[in-house]
A and B are shown apart, each in its own frame.
Chain A
Amino acid sequence: MPARLHRTLLAASLGALLCGAAAAQSVGYLLAPAHTKVHWEVRHFGTSTQRGWFADVQGSVRLDRNSGRGDVSVSIATASVSSGVAVLDGMLRGNNFLAATDHPTAYFVATGLRFDGERLAEVRGEFTLRGISRPMALRALNFGCRTDAMLQREVCGGDFEAELRRSEFGSTFGLPFVGDTVRLLIAVEGVRE
């Protein structure tokens, strides 16, 4: 084989090896809709906790446990809010709360991850609701990976918790009887791509 072709092949295969190695560090997961949900909790008249969820949540995650880096992006269809009370759902979609017509999507984008060994402990990022973006840190209450028996693939997931003040996103209706603090509990499972 001529020397020039040999060097080209060597360069190409080294390049492929290096790129392949770097890509293999970062693993992609697609969030499974049946096991991904954003739950919310708000205090009602300082007495009981009103709960609900957003049924339509989609997203993807890339984790690089060696470098402690990754990407997380989650998008929520605000019209998919579900409280168990149909009339309340209608109010929540309205302009006093989610403003779902003008802002059909709320979303979270990560800016930094913190690992505790193999375990994802925290995801810092930005949450956008009603068109307003604010910093948000998702704290892992639990995180783990398993090989799913049915899918025959790695599934990683957990429960993440965060709090926001809805007034900071422009929703002040009902204060203080309907609380300002909204607790988010994000149950998530992602299937390895």
Chain B
Amino acid sequence: MYKTLIALAALAAAGLAQAEVSNYSIDPTHTFVTFEAKHFNTSTLRGRFDRKDGAVTLDRAAKSGRAEITIDTSSVNTGVGPLDGHLKSKDFFNVAQSPSISFVGDKFSFEGDKVTAVTGTLTMLGKTLPVTLNASHFNCYNNPLFKREVCGGDFETTIARSQWGMTYGLNFGIPDQVRLLIQIEAVKQ
């Protein structure tokens, strides 16, 4: 019986170790999606979305996680007013019909304690397609302002916008390839 109790205790401990799920809420002041596209093969145009929110669940013991991020497309910002207006129109983000873009990542890749990639789907203009965000940097730290753990990093991916039905300008030199640079920091709840 003694051996059985020890075995049960070991099993219980293993079970507890498995359930190391932590919930994080996105810090919107340190989370941004920046997009880049080449302008007529000359200079790179960079813009961002100013309004977004989301949550992340991480289980570093089980090497799993889930991330959900929603972007308000009307907050697109290139620093150039007329261009922002064009991007919000039916030609590009069609903000009136499609007020948000969302990413749901449910497959996390780890290297030790560090997240190296998140695979999931990107929903834009009514279409949902798979994307993988690759981490160029990942780190967790104790934030002295929040007095909580913050995890985050830099992720990137390149998409072909035509796959989501955004085809304006492909025939006169506006590129299909759009690079997404994602800064993310999320605060442990």
Contact = CB atoms under 8 A, between A and B. Distances in A.
A159 interface: yes
Contact of B137 (A49, A82, A85): A49
Interface on chain B toward A: helix, strand, loop, or mixed SS?
strand
A189 B150 CA distance: 39
A88 B43 contact: no
Contacts, number: 90
Interface residues of B, number: 35
Interface stretch (A14-22, A40-48, A64-72, A103-111): A40-48
A35 B43 contact: yes
Contacts of A188: 43
B48 A84 contact: yes
Given A44-B30, A47-B139, A48-B184, A144 B42 contact: yes
Contacts of A158: 42-43
Contacts of B82: 34
Given A49-B154, A88-B29, A55 B39 contact: no
A51 interface: yes
B181 interface: yes
A156 B32 CA distance: 30
A167 interface: no
A34 B80 contact: yes
A82 B41 contact: no
B83 A146 contact: no
Interface string B47-63: 01010000000000000
Interface residues of A, number: 35
Contacts of A35: 39, 42-43, 45
Given A84-B50, A146-B41, A157-B43, 17 more contacts: A37-B46, A47-B139, A47-B141, A47-B153, A48-B154, A50-B183, A51-B48, A53-B79, A82-B77, A84-B48, A142-B44, A148-B40, A149-B172, A155-B40, A159-B44, A185-B46, A189-B42
Interface of A: 34-37, 39, 44-51, 53, 55, 82, 84-85, 87-88, 142, 144-146, 148-149, 155-159, 185, 187-189
20 contacts: A34-B83, A35-B39, A35-B43, A45-B150, A45-B185, A46-B141, A47-B138, A47-B141, A48-B152, A49-B137, A50-B183, A53-B46, A82-B77, A85-B29, A88-B29, A145-B42, A146-B42, A156-B42, A187-B44, A189-B42
